[in-house]
Structure 1
Amino acid sequence: MKINKFIIFIFLAVFSSFQCVCAQNPELEIVGKVIENATKQPIAYATISVIDIASKKAITGTITNAKGNFLLKTKASNFYIEVSFMGYTSKTFRAFKIENGVIDLRTIVLEEDIQGLDAVVVRAEKSQTEFKLDKRVFNVGKDLSSTGASVFEVLNNVPSVNVTIEGDVSLRGSQGVQILINGKPSVIASNDGNALGTITADMIEKIEVITNPSAKYDAQGTSGIINIVIKKSEKRGLNGAATLNFGVPNSNSFGLSLNKRTEKFNLFSQMGIGLRTFPDERKTINRDLVNNRSITSIGESAFDEKFSNILIGADYHIDKMNIVTLSGSYAYENETQGATSNFEQEADNNIDKWIRNERTEATNPKLRYELQYIKNFKRHKDQTLLFSALGSSFRKDQSSEFQNNTTVGDIPDFRQKSRTDYKLEEYTFKLDYTHPFLEKYTLESGAQYVVNIVGNDFEVSDFINGDWVSVPELTNLFDFTQKVLGIYTTAAFEGEKWGVKFGLRLEDTNINTLLETTSENNKNNYANVFPSAHASYKISDDFSLQLGYSRRINRPGLRSLNPFSNIRNNFSISTGNPDLQPEFTNSYEFTGIKKLDKASFSFSIYNRKTTDVMERISVFENNVSISRPENIGTNTTTGFEFNGKYAPIDWFSMNGDFNMNYFDRSGVFEMTTFDFSGNQWSTRLTSKFKLPAKFDVELSGNYRSKYKTLQQEIAENIFMDFGLRKKIFKGKTILNLSIRDVFASRVNESVTNQPNFYLFNSRRRGRFITFGISYGFGKGEAMEFSGQRR
């Protein structure tokens, strides 16, 4: 890791008063070299401290360079010297020779501390947050890196970021955050497993939080970006963890993670197997207000998933300036789902009842692979060239069979089945170059090419007269291809107090959809410019203001474009729209960030205007509701957001998020005007307690108010999560208990009340209880995540 100028600045400021006291003494030079005992290799970034004998406080200090050498100047007269490095036994020098004003400690050999990392003396380098033009940078100091904790514990110390005991990461209360590794998508940061937990605190240089991304990043809309920057020179050694989880309903899994670092290689791997169950309770009401007919459905389902996954990768340090990374992961899932729904139809004072049973089976193989090359330059520590290629493939072979059995009335029994053969391939190629110059200026440029290829072969068949007969209007082969080429450049000036950054991104999008059976072909080609502008002003080291603007795009995904969907409920169908266009958003944001002694908080005032808003519209015919996304008008949202962390005492801390906004909708669809306004608000409060005997307790409450869409009213939602953690054996083993939705109150309800029809939809997952045990070995701590579906 290159020397962090911010930390050096703080370090020198703290000890400048001691240097002034000794100004009358002649200046001494302290030189030497630090190596480790086992391999005789130099130790970079070891700490050399000059400590006053009387007060036992540090006077000044420095760290070793990449070759283990150091040079330190001091005017102190009554001191001793201490040499330390995390994971190694410190050495103290009280007797030394002074020749011609130089103290030469020659070669200092440090031995590994076999008693564990708890004995390491931390004298400085506390984690600090810096305010940059378009982001906040959390520099990971020794207070966190020397503990060997997981990346989740580090993230929990970052302002505006919260991580539950289960490992769910949220930014400003939203879990739609994109996680990058060294500024790019990575196999490690994918949602296919918990590979992110293989990163330990001592591997992390800094964490960047970006709430309003600049033109450097993909213009596809996200709620924010968390970029984890890995150290360029990681500490050598072996660390790993084994994790075992049990849960009700089933959340049973075993995971093993290993990381081995040598002088040239960093090898990492992760594997897991498990069984998970996801229950579901649903209720729907379709009511024809013209003909006074209604259909009610109440059902339950259980989704069982058996999974296995493996990830393996390696970083190869060609030399100090060139690093190549190759990694890949494979996962296989076997799914079964059973569902039972009770239907009741009432029309003309007649009542019919039937039971619809479903049995679904599916297999999902997943493959991801990545190649990365990073070149650093001697000219400047921040000058870099990065190339990465990321590929993935996913396949789902699924079959479902449905059986209707009439219990009341004379409706005939009915059998139906569906078949899905789904294939997805995605390729991302990325090239980034960063060029600092004249100390305060930086130019960035690069390109990205993303290819998505999807095929969905879908068929529905009815059982008629002893034979399965395909239903033509519900059967087709849907092909989807999307290619996005992006080119960007940014220019920035960053001074001591203020800075500005401007960026421009050009993206060319090529989308093609094809329904092969009916030969319906839709092509959509468009090029867009996405500017961004950011400014910041540092009032003090603890108070900063930021102003940002960016233009974003939200392209419709496969589910929104694919005209076919699940037929679990024949009377409540959700489908896609191949003609759907992307929506565009102009986002403005003003943010203030304040750090206090025991608290930090930020507030934001934002305005977002979105055109061609994608909104689901329901149509109703013969008691069947069909929901389909359409582009309807514009939406202007103005809101206020507050995020804060408060730790008044060592054993208690709070993390809160509050978001309130007012929105104004306008648009016309099929000669009907949809103009209305409304508001909504949400809040999240997490309290954490450190109890005696190393017990940690976490309580998290969430609330979202009700709000309107074009046709629907979404009900309010409130729920609470609970977590309990116990560390034993010096943090090498962690016992973990989590309860999600403690009171089973997390119910998603919506009502569509139109002049001709009424729709009600309700869904509840229920309570999840998981107990886990994780054991860490080598130089790492047990990893703090469970095997839940991410």
Structure 2
Amino acid sequence: MKFFKILTFLSVLISTFSFAQQGNKVTLSGKIIEKTSGLPLEYATVTIINPSTSKPVSGGVTDSKGEFKIDVSQGSYNIKYEYISFKTIEIKGKNISSNTNLGTIALEDEAQQLDAVEIRVEKTAVDIKLDKKVYSVGKDIMVRGGTVSDVLDNVPSVSVDSDGTVSLRGNESVRILIDGKPSNMGNINDALKLIPAETIDKVEIVTNPSARYDAEGGGGIINIILKKGKNQGINGTFVASVGDPRNTGVSANLNFKQEHSNFFTSIGYNNRSNPGNTKIDQQNFDQNGALKSILNERRKNNRFGEGLNANFGIELLLNKSTSWTNSLNVRSNKGGNKENVLYYNYDALNQYLNTRQRYNDLQSTSENVDYSSNFVKNFKKDGHKLTADISISQNSDNDNSTIEGIILDNNEFVSSERTRKNDKQQRNLFQVDYVLPIGKKSQFEAGFRGNYVKNITDYQVEERKTASSPFTNIDEFTNILEYNENVTAVYTQFGSKINKFSYLAGLRFEDSKIEVNQLTSTIFKTKKYNNLFPSLFLTYEINDQSSISLNYSKRISRPRDRFINPFASYTSNVNLFQGNPDINPAYSDAFDLGYLKKWEKLTLSTSLYYNHTTDSFEMVRKERGDFVFTPVGTPDVIVNGEIVTVNDGEDIKTPVIVNTFFNLGQNDRFGFEFTLNYNFKKWWKLNGNFNFFNSQNTGSYTYINSKNEEVFQSFNRNATTWFTRITSKVTLPYKIEWQTNATYNAAQKTAQGSNKAIAAMNLAFSKDVLKDMGTISFNISDVFNSRKRIQDIQLPNTNSHSEMQWRRRAFTLSFTYRFNKKKTDRDQKPKQNNNGNGDDEFMG
């Protein structure tokens, strides 16, 4: 309640400020562009100087359109126009007696040098805006030779944990888009590890999206924008990289632009190996709390992959106001994971008994084809346009694994299984957006979006009872699931600016139809629901350098096929994952209070946020009976990590644990975040991000176990944690660039234990060669080999300590060559709107 009182007070305060009067002042306005391309220059500086004292009396920076407005008292001034790496223009003795439009000012590019340090001042890698953050991948030498997962792990507000799961402000319920469209590559976290970083232009982070965006994603939206060349003539970039562990890759980004057309292509090949390891020390106790056995597990993974990514496109300028872009994206990847697990077994006195080995050889292939078409019609009035988008994509993922288990001490057979999973997905997306400016300070928008997905998963598990017997099917796991998701949406929003106060109000309607067809068991379930998703954004410009905003939006998180398949997926015969076909979507109300302040060398963005989620997803572990088998020829056997002494032929029983999802009562997440860019010197840039949040669950789960007993589990918990990331980029003598990235994730309590803190650092160096047409880069990922997920878990009969490292420290050397394209060239913005998810919000 206190939080809502604060929001109400600030809302009233903002409204009051909007009626403040400026007194006897006049307004200067104008626009600053780049002379060679005519593109607007965002964040260019305008300084109003008193000619008698040579001291600034006022000033401001340009917006995304290159425009500025500055309030000054009447008088005579010198006016200076500046933008880093461009020649400064100064107009002296300008007499200002009334509101004056200074027209369009064109700045020319300029390179500077100071002593032995070359100053190549370029726009910061992180562009902070009030409604979102834009991360330019090309500015970051840390990710060269890496993947999209590496890119996201450098983006403010975003973190990628040790197994590749992406979260935004600590919230894993985040929507990840590629060019404004949902990915069609199956598991998105796995897909991000396959796409080379060199194919990415920038990443947009929208923590509280408006009605224009999909309502999917309770934690916000991450939009990954692929490169599309826009420079005039024939130009491009080639990148080659090698690394240890194995990281070989080559890529090319080319485009050929003429007056009425632009051909662009990106082609990349990579061959990678990511060795990792896991350590688990587990103590097992009996019902009286006495130590019964000790299990030490050591796991080594060797994940590998080889992939080809190609994108071909053409943009046709049909006339001065109409463009049509078509592109075809093809991805082909094959790889796998060779996992060797050793279980060292000890008795209650810590005396060695034996070692069991479990070897899993996983082979996988993935094929993805995506066709996109974008049509843009610009009308006579600036900003008045109509866009239409079509995207048709198909994806196929095939996984095959063989799992063998033996006792190493005597080579005794334990188990032999093999699994097969064939996943096919088709996605059709259609979208139309219309934007109509009304007057000079208002804008109306409306649009339609249809997203239709069909996914079929064919899953099979087989086993053999002895080393020489044939494989037989396990009916409990083998199944075919068809999942269809059809979401049709329409939206409208209206924004306007009144003096320094602006607002954007929107409403989105989504009609959802979800079909879960379990073809093997003939279970057919259809869920239909429709929802309204309102959004409201209020902004007050305190002055030209600072703004404050108050935002609200309603979001949804839909359960996917894995969450709702009633058939269990096989990890072992006593530890299963099973979906819940009755699980419902979760709904979130997101509030965000933001403040943006710009100084000459510093940009600061702060945010106070609160998310209230109902029916949030939570995983529960429950037992569903015993697994029974009869050992032969040994008095001591290992069952689920425990030593059991039996007579020959005696049945052994061990509980089967099922992991499944259910709808929790609610989750409340409250946090504070700030992001800053600091140009400490012309040769030194700093970027920092800090996020503190508290997550509180309220809810419980009750089920009937195999003994017909009612089991109650409380999921009430309160967890607080924080993380921070600091990036430093320094230009050293001899044209060497040095970048350091340091992250710290604080410790966090969980429902069953705690996660330890993680500190890690990356380093990168680069040097330009061949008259600045080439660049050599060297980076070290995880310098201290410390990026590990360390957990302590306490259960009624088990205590365990685990350390999991998804991949170890890596070294990468890369070479970049550019032709007909300078390092400081700024690509023109695409005329397409990335399916409504790439444009700036209208905030006046």
Q: Which residue of 2 aligns with 1:278?
A: 274
Shift of 1:290: 3.5
One-letter identity of the residue aligned with 1:537: Y
Secondary structure of 1:474's partner? coil
Call closer, same or farther: CA 1:152–1:682 in 2, change over 3 Å.
farther
Q: Is the 8 A contact 2:124 2:139 kept in 1?
A: no
Letter in 2 for 1:700: A
**In 2, Cα distance between equivalents of 1:652 and 1:122:** 12
Structure 1 equivalent of residue 376 of structure 2: 374
Q: 1:44 to 1:250 in 2, by over 3 A?
A: closer
Alpha-carbon distance in 2 for matches of 1:606, 1:44: 35
Whole-angstrom distance in 2 between the partners of 1:128 and 1:335: 33
Q: Give yes or no for contact 1:533–1:548 (8 Å, CA) kept in 2.
A: yes
TM alignment of 1:156-555, pairs within 5 A: 168=153, 170-174=155-159, 176=167, 191=192, 193-194=195-196, 197=199, 199=201, 210-221=206-217, 223-225=219-221, 235-284=231-280, 285=282, 287=284, 289-290=286-287, 292=292, 296-344=296-344, 351=353, 353-379=355-381, 381-408=382-409, 412-464=413-465, 466-555=469-558
State which drifts further: 681-690 or 210-219.
Answer: 681-690
Q: How does 1:693-708 map to 2 (within 5 A)?
A: 693=733, 694-708=736-750
- Residues 143-189 of structure 1, C-alpha deviation per residue, up to 9 Å, x if partnerless? xxxxxx97532999xxxxxx999675524244657677886669999
Please tell me whether residue 771 in structure 1 is matched to residue 813 in structure 2. yes
Q: Does 1:607 align with 2:593?
A: no
1:577 is matched with which residue? Answer: 580
Comparing 177-186 with 360-369, greater Cα deviation is found at 177-186
Which amino acid in 1 is paired with 2:310?
I
Cα separation, partners in 2 of 1:773 and 1:522, compared to 1, 3 Å: same
Shift of 1:574: 3.4
Q: What is the alpha-carbon distance in structure 2 between the residues aligned to residue 384 and residue 453 of structure 1?
A: 32
Corresponding letter in the other structure for 1:500: Y
**Closer, same or farther in 2 for the Cα pair 1:270/1:117, shift >3 Å?**
farther
- Aligned-residue sequence identity (percent) comes to 23
- Equivalent position of 2:716 in the other structure: 676
Note closer, same or farther for the CA distance 1:176–1:677 as it changes in structure 2 (3 Å cut): closer
The answer on whether the counterparts of 1:435 and 1:442 sit within 8 Å (CA) in structure 2 is: yes
Task: Name the residue aligned to 1:69.
Answer: none
- Deviation for aligned residue 1:483: 0.9
Structure 2: gaps spanning 5 or more residues:
1-24, 29-33, 45-50, 53-77, 89-105, 114-118, 143-147, 160-165, 169-174, 627-653, 704-710, 827-844
Identify if the C-alpha distance between structure 1 residues 184 and 615 changes in structure 2 by more than 3 Å, giving closer, same or farther: closer
2:772–2:822 contact (8 Å) kept in structure 1: no
Give the conservation status (yes or no) of the 8 Å contact 1:239–1:780. no
Query: 2:688 — aligned with what?
Result: 655
Q: Which moved more, 1:326-335 or 1:689-698?
A: 689-698
Contact 2:201 2:227 in 1 (8 A): no
Q: Deviations over 1:110-134 (max 9, x none)?
A: 9x99x9999xx999999998966xx
The Cα offsets for residues 345-404 of structure 1, whole Å up to 9 and x where unpaired, read as 56899945321112222221111111111111102x111211111122221222211111
Taking the aligned partners of 1:678 and 1:248, their CA distance within structure 2 comes to 41
2:666 to 629, 634, 637: 634
SS in 1 for 2:563: helix
Distance 2:153 2:298 in 1: 31
Any idea what the Cα deviations from partners look like across 1:631-690, whole Å, max 9, x if unmatched? Answer: 121111222222222232222424232323252433344362525342322222323132
Whether contact under 8 Å (2:151, 2:197) holds in the other structure is: no
**3-state SS of paired residue (2:155):** strand
Structure 1: distance between partners of 2:749 and 2:722: 11
Q: CA 1:127–1:610 in structure 2 vs 1: closer, same or farther (change >3 Å)?
A: closer
Are 1:632 and 1:669, in contact at CA under 8 Å, matched by a contact in 2? no
| CA distances 1:519-558 after superposition (whole Å, capped 9, x unpaired) | 1222222111111111111111122111011111111223
Q: Distance in 2 between matches of 1:123 and 1:287?
A: 60
* 1:396-427 CA-partner distances (Å, limit 9, x unpaired): 22221111112358974321111111112222
8 Å CA contact 2:84, 2:122 repeated in 1? no
Q: Any conservation in 2 of the 1:152–1:197 contact (CA below 8 Å)? A: no
Q: Give the equivalent residue in structure 2 for 1:716.
A: 756
Per mean C-alpha deviation after superposition, the further-off stretch among 641-650 and 446-455 is 641-650
What's the CA shift string for 1:710-747, capped at 9, x where partnerless? xx334123132322232313542222222222222222
Q: For 2:123 and 2:410, how far apart are their aligned partners in 1?
A: 76
Spell out, residue by residue over 1:612-647, the C-alpha distance to the aligned partner (whole angstroms, 9 max, x if none): 111111124625443222212111122222222223
Query: Does structure 1 conserve the Cα–Cα contact (< 8 Å) formed by 2:233 and 2:257?
Result: yes
Q: What's the CA shift for 1:253?
A: 0.7
The two structures have a TM-score, normalised by structure 2, of 0.71
Q: Cα distance 1:150–1:257, how it changes in 2: closer, same or farther (>3 A)?
A: farther
Q: 592-601 or 187-196: which moved more? A: 187-196
In structure 1, stretches of 5+ residues that fail to align are 1-15, 20-33, 37-41, 48-53, 56-78, 91-109, 139-148, 157-162, 201-206, 785-790
CA distance in 1, matches of 2:583, 2:306: 35
| Structure 1 letter corresponding to 2:694 | N
Match of 1:688 among 716, 728, 732: 728
Corresponding residue for residue 755 of structure 1: 796
Cα offset for 1:451?
1.4
Q: How far apart, CA to CA, are the structure 2 residues paired with 1:233 and 1:247?
A: 28
CA 124–211 in structure 1, closer or farther in 2 if over 3 Å, else same: closer
Change (3 A) 1:576 1:351: farther
Tell me how large the CA RMSD over aligned residues is: 5.0
Q: Give the SS at the match of 1:473.
A: coil
Distance in 2 (CA, whole Å) between partners of 1:262 and 1:195 is 28
Structure 2 counterpart SS, 1:472: coil
What's the secondary structure of 2:524's corresponding residue?
strand
Q: What secondary structure is seen at the aligned counterpart in 2 of 1:467? A: coil
Distance 2:326 2:270 in 1: 26
> Which letter does structure 2 place at the counterpart of 1:681?
T
One-letter amino acid matched to 2:680: P
Query: In structure 2, how many angstroms separate the alpha carbons of the residues matched to 1:86 and 1:319?
Result: 34
Question: Per the alignment, do residues 470 and 700 of structure 1 end up closer, same or farther by CA in structure 2, a change over 3 Å counting?
Answer: same
TM-score using structure 1 length: 0.75
Contact persistence 1:491–1:503 (CA under 8 A)? yes
- Give the SS at the match of 2:510: strand
